[in-house]
Amino acid sequence: MSHDHSDTVQYKDSGIPQPWHLVRPSVWPLIGAMVAGIMMGGMVMFMHKIKIGSIDLGLAAPLIGLAGVLAIMFVWWRDVIHESSVEHAHSAVVKIGLRYGMALFIASEVMFFSAFFWAYYSAALYPPAILGGVWPPANIKTFDPFDMPFIMTLILLLSGTTVTWAHHAVLEGKQKELVKALTFTVALGLSFSVCQAYEYHHAEFGLKSGMFGSTFFMATGFHGLHVIIGTIFLAVGLCRAKKGHFTPQSHFGLEAAAWYWHFVDVVWLFLFISIYWYGSAPQ
């Protein structure tokens, strides 16, 4: 595989005799898996009201796990940023690997959401007799798709344009525009989460409201979680942009965040069409 001269200079100047990056041993993956297990296990225990002996942990376990996950995200990303910005270990070859890794991660996320859509359409296209053979069930008052859901759709579509603006700004070396575009994108991401919280608060059905409630909240809830993760991803990118970490030649951290955000946009469009619009009227 050929490499350009600038990349050769980059890894030679960093003291690395070849363009590959051998990651130093790190304890963060192990600790990350442990705190993620605490968070998810705590959620299961909370939802099923499971006690340890006579101790009811309530939300304590999942919140402790969530705090641990956020802490690991911080220190792990800090190390990766140090590798890129200080050690200059991310050569062109390494960046190709990072791109493949991010692409495969998004592909796995596609399959993750495919399972939720499969569950939803299995019930919507072939509603069981217990539901009277209709979808949505007669006892469910659905959301008007062109009320709050439509506003949320506009917010995400607008955020897709601002993150693209940010990408073009970094390619053109426009630092101020990059910071401005990322600020707008993060603000729009936060606005979407606030709107979704408002929508959930005013929902006239819940997670336990049969097949409709479980499929609705699982699909839209996990998407909302991905919006929060993507917003954090972009906020980290915003902090890095203010510090001048991104250049037209080296900005994969921003590019990966943009890929992830566009994926979140596309999934929401499918959710809007399938669950809010198609699922709002009796079939």
What's the pLDDT at 130? 77
Q: Indicate the CATH number for domain 22-88.
A: 1.10.287.70
Which residue in this structure is represented by tokens 């990303």? 77
**Could you give the C-alpha distances from 219 to 84, 114, 174, 272, in angstroms and in order?**
35, 10, 38, 11
Residue 2 has pLDDT above 50, yes or no: no
Domain residue limits, the chain: 22-88, 91-280
Residue 11 has pLDDT above 80, yes or no: no
Report whether the peptide linkage leading into residue 136 is cis, meaning its omega lies within 30 degrees of zero. yes
Question: Rounded to 10 degrees, what is the CA torsion of 16, 20, 26, 30?
Answer: 180
Cβ atoms of 95 and 251 within 8 Å: the answer is no
What's the pLDDT at 91? 79
Please report which confidence band the pLDDT of residue 19 belongs to, taking 50, 70 and 90 as the band edges: low
Work out the percent of the chain whose per-residue pLDDT is above 70: 92
| Rounded distance between C-alpha atoms, residue 131 and residue 215, angstroms | 14
| Rounded distance between C-alpha atoms, residue 270 and residue 18, angstroms | 44
Average pLDDT, rounded, for the chain: 88
Considering the entire predicted model, what is its pTM? 0.84
Residue 99 has pLDDT above 80, yes or no: yes
Answer yes or no: same fold for 22-88 and 91-280: no
Q: Each residue of 37-92: pLDDT tens digit?
A: 999 999 988 888 887 777 777 888 899 999 999 999 899 989 988 888 888 878 78
**Could you give the C-alpha distances from 249 to 7, 71, 242, in angstroms and in order?**
10, 30, 17
Q: Each residue of 137-160: pLDDT tens digit?
A: 888 888 999 999 999 999 999 999
What are 55's strand-pairing partners?
A: 52
Q: Each residue of 162-176: pLDDT tens digit?
A: 999 999 999 999 999
| Rounded distance between C-alpha atoms, residue 82 and residue 226, angstroms | 25
* Averaged pLDDT for residues 193-217: 92
Instruction: Specify the CATH superfamily of domain 91-280.
Output: Cytochrome c oxidase, subunit III, four-helix bundle (1.20.120.80)
